[in-house]
Amino acid sequence: MSEAAHSSSDYIKHHLQNLTYGKLPAGYAREDHAGQQEVLQQDTWTMAHTAKEAKDMGFMAFHVDSLGVAVFLGALFLLVFRSAAKRATAGVPGGLQNFVEWIIEFIDNSVRGSYSGKSPLVAPLAMTVFIWIFLMNFMDLLAVDHVPQIADKLGLPFFKVVPTTDPNMTFGMSIAVFFLIIFYSIKFKGVGGFFAELAFQPFGKWGLPANLLLEGVNLIAKPVSLALRLFGNMYAGEMIFILIAIMFGAGIGFGIFAGVLQWAWAVFHILIITLQAFIFMTLTIVYMDMAQQAHH
């Protein structure tokens, strides 16, 4: 492999690596920033310095960048909407109030069109899902090098700024929706009704094994499809931005072409990030609606 290819490969791997905090076992050999090897004398919770260390930390590790950005954007969303609510007036609305009212009306129409029941939870859930995911997706429009460069100056080896390119985040959100589906199913149908649907639909009591298989797969497929659809689309978009960024180092001609391509992809990506947030919200509403509908 050529040096340029090796450099491009390292660049891509670096930009796709999460800032990971986890536990390394006693006896683990790691290199410090000066390249000196250090053998840990005891189990140590630490920040991973390399992708290998992040992998060796295993399942019980935290992606600090994904969690930090997600919490920050969630708090920002709450503060902005709280500010709009406190300043709301019955007279001529200001710009922020107008914007928030437009979003609420949009969410309300979406819920009314997809949810046939009555629940005080569904509309706030739909609004939270849509805006939070949109904000996390929107981070993909930041230049791919700026945040990692700032993080490097702060002593952080990695920093991914788009939480929805992390499958842990998308699966975390989809699993939360999955638990709500189970809760609503049991709330409206009872424990017996919920398990009766799994056991007796669609082939009746004589098709019990096939029913459990089909309905079980159908149930599990809901959170899996939610998570993978969002992750796959955002990960692909992030990868395209990274590949375009590599072109800037290939000469003036490629740099000019990359600039045009980057602008065009960013404009198109605005549609993608909005659409993915809308799809996640809509499917969440539909699944909640299906959870309360009894099959006869």
Long-range contacts of 120-127 (CB under 8 A, 24+ apart): 121/180, 122/285, 122/288, 125/180, 125/284, 125/288, 126/281, 126/284, 126/285, 127/103
Token pair for residue 44? Answer: 């140590």
The sign one gets for the Cα dihedral 185, 187, 189, 191 is positive
Long-range contacts of 239-242 (CB under 8 A, 24+ apart): 239/12, 239/16, 240/265, 241/140, 241/144, 241/265, 241/269, 242/11, 242/12, 242/15, 242/16, 242/144
Choosing from 9, 98, 116, 225, which is the catalytic residue? 225
CA atoms within 13 A on the CB side of 111: 21
Is 114 one of the catalytic residues?
no
User: Does residue 233 carry a catalytic annotation?
Assistant: yes
Asked if residues 163 and 70 have their Cβ atoms less than 8 Å apart, the reply is yes
| Catalytic site includes residue 109 | no
Lay out the sheet containing 20-24: strands in order across.
44-47, 20-24, 62-63
Radius of gyration of the chain measured on its C-alpha atoms: 23
Where in 119-218 does DSSP place strands (E)?
Answer: none
Measure Cα distances from 49 to 18, 38, 151, 207 in Å: 11, 12, 13, 54
Catalytic residue among 66, 114, 211, 233: 233
Q: Which active-site residues does the annotation give?
A: 225, 229, 233
